[in-house]
Chain A
Amino acid sequence: MLEGIMIGLGTAFSLTNILMVIGGCLIGTFIGMLPGLGPMSIIAIMIPVAISIGDPSAALILLAGVYYGAIFGGSTSSILINAPGVASTVATSFDGYPMARQGKAGKALTIAAISSFCGGTIGAILLMIFAPMLASVALLFHSAEYFALMVVGLSAIAAFAGTGQVAKAVLMTLLGLMMATVGEGALFNMPRFTMGIMDLQSGIGFITLAMAMFALPEAIYLVLDPSRSKTGGSNEIKDLRITRGEARSIAPVIGRQSIQGFLIGVLPGAGATIASFLGYAVERNLATKEEQKEFGKGSVKGLAAPESANNAACTGSFVPLLTLGIPGSGTTAILLGALIALNVTPGPRLMLDDPQIFWAVIVSMYLGNLILLILNLPLIPYIAKVLAVPRNFLIPFILFFTMMGAYIGQNNATELLLLVGFGICATILRFADYPLAPLLIGFILGGMLENNFARSMQLYDGISFIWERPMTLGLLVLAVVLVLLPSYRARRARARASGVADGD
C-alpha cells in the first residue's frame, strides 16, 4: 500500500495535475452554486474537456476536482438561499438556511467547509484501506436488501422529518413515491399516469420538483412577510470563527458521520443522498433533548452531519466504481463513461494493470479536499454577501434562478408551468405544517425502490423474498418499528400525562 501511495504522490504532484485539481474545484464550486446544475450535469459538461486532455490520470483528477467543488457549491446555495440544486444537499438546507437567516451565514459556510473537508479526507483514508475489502461486502447485498434498505431509509426520514406528526410525513413520502411513478419506468417501457400529456412522458423533473418544494415556497414566504428577510442582520458577516464549544460538539458528529457516510456510499445505489439524510436523522436521534429542539432551527450538529456524510459518501462511491466497475450513483456512472472513453476499464484488474490511475485518484482526493478548504475559507465572506442584496432585487433573482434551473435541465418551457403549479401546492402544504422534505426524498428514491422491488419479485417469482431472506425481513421489520414507535411513545406519554401526576 505504501508503494501505491508513493506512485500516487508521484503522479498527482506534477504541475499540470495540481493545476487540474485547482481548476476543477473552482469550476465545480462556481457552477455548483447555480441551483439546478448538480455534479452530474457539470461533470457531463466537463467530459469533452477532460477527454481532450488525453492522459487518463489527469482527466480523472480534473473530474474528481469538479465533483467535490460542485458538492460544496451546492451546499452554499442551500445554505444561503434555501435552493438545494442537488439532492444530496437537501439535508444541508434544513439547518444551514435557518443559521443564515439568524445572521450566521459565515459561520454556517465555515462549518460546511470544515465538515466537508473532514468527511472527504476521512473518506479518502478509508477508501485506501478498505477499498478491496468493502468491495466484497457490497456484493452480499442483493436487490431485495436494497429494496428493504430504501424502505428503512424512507421510514426513518418520515419518522424524523415531521414536526412530531408521523402520519403527515408518511403521507408526504407516499405522495412523493406516487409522483415518481409518473412517466416511463425503466423496467416496463410503457408510460404510466401521464394522463395523455406528452410532456409528462419522461416523468417529472427532479430539479423542477426540488425547486418547487424548497426555493419557491421560501420566496413566496419572503414576499408575503417582509419582516422575514430582515431578521438576518445579514449585512455584516460576523462570527466566521467557530467557538471552542461548538467545535467540541461537532467533532464527534463529523467523526461518526464520515464513517457512516462512507459505508453507505460504498453500497451501489445508495450514495450521498441517502447518506446525508440518514446522517441527519441519526444525529438528531443521538442528540440530547435540548439539542434535539435546535435541529431544524439552525443547529450546528444538524449542519455538520449531512455535510460530512455526503462528502464521505462521494468518496465511498468511488469504491464500487474503481474496484468492481459498477457505478454506485448517477455521477459515478458518468465518470465510468469518461473512463471507458479514455481507454481505461475500471474493475478488479485496475489496481494491477494501471495502479498509477487508482492511486493518483486517491491522492488527488486529499489534494482536492485541501484545495477546496484553502480556496473556500477566504472566499466565504464574499460568497455570503449574496444575502446583503436588497430584497427588491434578491427575490426576482431567486425566482429567476429557480426557473433557470428547471429550464436548463430539460429545455422545456412546460417545466416552468409545472414549477409554478407545484410551488403553489407546496406553499399551501407548508401553511398546513406538512413536511416537504419527505415528499422530495420519496420522489428521488421512488424509481430505485420500484426497480429493486421489481427485480427481486422477478428473481423470486413473487414476494417470497421477504421471508426467505433474513436480512430483508429484518430491515423491513425495522422500518415498521421506526414508523410506529413515535406514535406509540406519544400515546404512552399522553396516557401518563392524563393520569396521576408523576411522583418524580
Chain B
Amino acid sequence: MALDRWIALIILLICLAYGYAAFFTMDQLLPPFMQRNPIWPSTFPKLIAIFGALTAMAILLGLEKSDDDGPKAGEINYRRLTDYKIGQAISLLALMVAYALLLRPGGFLLATVGFLVGGSLILGERKYPRLILVALIATGVVWYLVQQVLGIFLSPWPAFLR
C-alpha cells in the first residue's frame, strides 16, 4: 500500500476518534439551557467528522484514480529516503526540541547561541571563530530588537540568575 493510502487510513482513524468525541462525549457536558439551542458545540464537528471520514474512505479505496506518474523531479522520493541526509534532518529536529525545552530554564541568549552554533555544526560548518561570532551577533541583535524595540519580554539569562 502506498504512503498516501496509509496516510488516508491514519486520517480516517483520526476522523473516527474525533467523531466519537463529538457524537458521544460532548453533549453530556452541555448545560440544560443550551440544549434548547438549535446549534450545539458538537454540531459542526459532527458534520466535519462525517465528511472527513467519507473523503478518507474515498482515498483509501482509491475511488479517485490518480495519474501517478512516479516521483517528480525536484521533489523528494520517500521510497529512497536513506539516500538523503536524513541523519542531519533528524538531528536538527532534535535540536529544535532541545531548544524548546531549554528556552525557559536556560534563558534566551544561551539557548539561542547554542541552537545556532549546534545547527551549523550539524550541517558541517567547521570555521569555528566565524560560526560563534555570527551566532553571538545574531542573538544579540534579535534580542535587542524583540525586547527593546518591540517591547516583547524575553528573559535573557538562565533561571538561576533571575
Contacts and interface: CB of A to CB of B under 8 A. Distances in A.
Contacts of B29: 190
Interface in A372-403: 391-393, 395-397, 399-400, 403
A165 B97 contact: no
Which bucket holds chain B's interface residue count? 35 or more
A45 B84 contact: no
Interface string B1-28: 0111011100100110010010000100
Interface in B83-107: 84-86, 88-89, 92-93, 96-97, 99-101, 103-104
A144 to B, nearest CB: 13
B138 interface: yes
Contact of A403 (B58, B100, B120): B100
A400 B134 CA distance: 13
Contact of A411 (B34, B51, B153): B153
Contacts of A224: 76, 84-86, 88-89
B39 A458 contact: yes
Interface in A201-258: 219-221, 223-226, 228, 231
Contacts of A423: 93
Contacts of B55: 167, 170-171, 174
Contacts, number: 171
Interface hub of B15, B41, B88, B142 (most chain A Cβ within 10 A): B41
Q: What does DSSP make chain B's interface, helix, strand, loop or mixed?
A: helix
Given A174-B52, A417-B100, A400 B116 contact: yes
A460 B150 CA distance: 46
A171 B100 contact: no
Nearest to B41: A188
Contacts of A461: 38
Contact of A450 (B3, B44, B86): B44
Contacts of A441: none
Nearest to B6: A432
B123 A453 contact: no
Contacts of B8: 171
A433 interface: yes
B152 A411 contact: yes
Given A174-B52, A193-B21, A225-B84, A168 B38 contact: no
B159 to A, nearest CB: 13
Interface stretch (A114-122, A177-185, A362-370): A177-185
Given A167-B64, A177-B48, A393-B134, A408 B120 contact: no
Contact of A168 (B45, B59, B100): B59
Nearest to B4: A432
A472 to B, nearest CB: 16
Interface residues of A, number: 67
B109 to A, nearest CB: 13
Contact of B45 (A193, A399, A494): A193
A91 B127 CA distance: 38
Nearest to A391: B123
A175 B52 contact: yes
Contact of B112 (A37, A400, A414, A494): A400
Contacts of B142: 404
Nearest to A231: B74
Interface string A87-110: 000000000000000000000000
Nearest to B53: A174
Contacts of B115: 396, 399-400
Given A185-B41, A432-B4, A458-B38, A403 B65 contact: no
Nearest to A491: B65
A467 interface: no
A45 B150 CA distance: 7
A163 to B, nearest CB: 9
A334 to B, nearest CB: 16
A125 interface: no
A420 B39 contact: no
A225 B29 CA distance: 50
B66 A397 contact: no
A416 B99 contact: yes
Interface string A466-497: 00000000000000000000010010001000
A428 to B, nearest CB: 7
Contacts of B43: 454, 457
A462 interface: yes
A395 B119 contact: yes
A131 interface: no
A220 B63 CA distance: 32
B124 to A, nearest CB: 6
A87 to B, nearest CB: 20
B103 A413 contact: yes
Q: Which 8 A-B pairs have the closest CB atoms?
A: A396-B119, A416-B100, A431-B78, A432-B4, A392-B125, A224-B84, A457-B39, A174-B52
Interface of B: 2-4, 6-8, 11, 14-15, 18, 21, 26, 29, 34, 37-39, 41-45, 48-49, 51-52, 55-56, 58-59, 63-67, 74-76, 78, 84-86, 88-89, 92-93, 96-97, 99-101, 103-104, 112, 115-116, 118-120, 123-125, 134, 138, 142, 146, 150-153
16 contacts: A171-B52, A175-B52, A178-B15, A178-B18, A178-B49, A192-B41, A193-B21, A220-B92, A223-B89, A392-B120, A396-B115, A403-B99, A411-B153, A417-B101, A420-B100, A432-B4
